[in-house]
Amino acid sequence: MRPHPLRETMKAHAPAKINLCLEVLGKRPDGYHEIASVLHTLDLADELSFSPAEMLRLRCSPPVGPDEDNLVVRAARLLQEAAGCDNGAAIALTKRIPVAAGLGGGSSDAAATLRALNGLWGLRLSREALAELASRLGSDAPFFLEGGCALAEGKGERLTPLAALRGWWAVVLSPPIALEGKTAKLYGMLTPADYSDGSATRSLGEKLRRATARAEDLAGAGNVFERVGDRAFSGLVAYRQAFSVAGAPFVRLSGSGPSLFTLVESAEEAGRIAAQLRRAGHAAVVALLTEPLSC
């Protein structure tokens, strides 16, 4: 039976994420890499709206490439296939998260699309079913179905919820450095010497679970892509130095980059660091770390 779509417009937020810690444990037989990472969402977000329509169509502002390649359209078509339906939707996407920057914008858009169209089309698929579909769209996509803070293992699809960091602020800078095939290239630059056992990430995850993580724990966490990122992204070192000059307590790559961030415990301090970066000509963003979407 064809699902009966709801006759209303739905709106959704698709939040960005940062990686508080990221380790690669090794390469899997299926060609993917085994990872351990702690992810956290921010209130920096793309905005989407979904309205009933006869066919699927997407309006993206600003445009970011062919619609059929957009993860929003791919998520919608995957949901149609899984549910055996041909319902349409008029989707409007306003991009605020920088593209291909290590902040998960595309995966977050895909997850928001699965959640929203599941409701708009009256499909009533379970969260587990949506997570399985999300895993086909991107390693980070299952995390974005709820967001907040989580330990991600496997390819990124095995998630353990953690206590979100309340009252913490991120200063994020996404350098305008384009690198075609970025993620594959950076994984390809890793050597076995870069692999680890995931214990540092799990230790941070346990502290977050018990809500005992301190500033030094966050500052001491690492990202396996730091070494190769500085080689892959021309000029990235200068952006790191700008953070130090602005008084950031530390600076870290998010995902496979090139976005950089620091964390502080007050909006005032975040604003001060961001203002200094802006005076130096850098488009820094201040964002609050957020709770899961279900909260």
Catalytic residues: 17, 140
DSSP states along 20-80: EEEEEEEE-TTS-EEEEEEEEEEEEEEEEEEEEESSEEEEEES--S-GGGSHHHHHHHHHH
Q: How many CA atoms lie within 13 A of 232 on its CB side?
A: 24
Counting Cβ atoms within 10 Å, is residue 30 exposed (0-12), middle (13-18) or buried (19+)?
exposed
H or E segment at 143?
A: helix 141-144
Cα 183 from Cα 232, distance rounded (Å): 11
Please report, as a single letter, which amino acid is at residue 284.
A
What Cα–Cα distance (Å) separates residue 101 from each residue in 104, 213, 223, 254?
8, 27, 15, 8
Cα 223 from Cα 208, distance rounded (Å): 17
Is-contact 243 249, C-beta < 8 A? no
Buried/exposed 174-207: b ≥16 CB within 10 Å, e otherwise: bbebebeebbeebbeebeeebbeebebbbebbeb
